[in-house]
Amino acid sequence: MKIKERNPELNNVYPEIGSSFGLLSIMHPEMCQHLIGKNVKYYGSDHVIWGTAYLWWGSPQWVIDAMKRFQISDELCEKFGYEKLTKQDKANIFGLNAAKIYGVDLEQELKAIPGDSLSKFKAAYLDNGGQRDNAAQGWVRANV
């Protein structure tokens, strides 16, 4: 953060917050607010990217859901000059920033999606009364 503060013209650095966010959101929620608040404050929501190490840990859906609900408290915003996250900020973090970095043409890519088989199966499932299931699937460690 200090490097960016000293070099405000630095615009080729993209902090990744996925794995850190997941751990901190559970273990230290206030520190998690600082993690996101500082990254957005110094780098901008157009430079923070979502990434995960969940190839090793299993489904990241719980972390995605936590980020969707996440917000920085009024107290920390006032005290440290953080901004509340908007839906656009979260969209940037979740994928729009990475698409920009990797040169992905989203309009072109999104045109291909409705015709794929998975989308057809999902539409048929929902049309026949199916409902979304956010239950955790797979192996879960239990403290015994």
End-to-end Cα spacing for the chain:
41
Confidence tier at 134 by pLDDT (50, 70, 90): low
Would you say residue 102 has pLDDT above 90? yes
21 dihedral zone (left: phi>0; alpha: psi -120 to 50; beta): alpha
Sorted by sequence, the CB contacts under 8 Å of residue 46 that are 6+ apart come out as 92, 97
- Condensed to tens digits (0 to 9), the pLDDT of residues 16-35 reads 997 789 889 999 999 999 99
Longest CA pairwise span in the chain (Å)? 57
Residue 12 carries which DSSP code?
S
SS3 per-residue string spanning 57-126: HCCCHHHHHHHHHCCCCHHHHHHHCCCCCCHHHHHHHHHHHHHHHCCCCHHHHHHHHHHCHHHHHHHHHH
Q: What's the rounded mean pLDDT across residues 119-128?
A: 86
pTM of the full predicted structure? 0.74
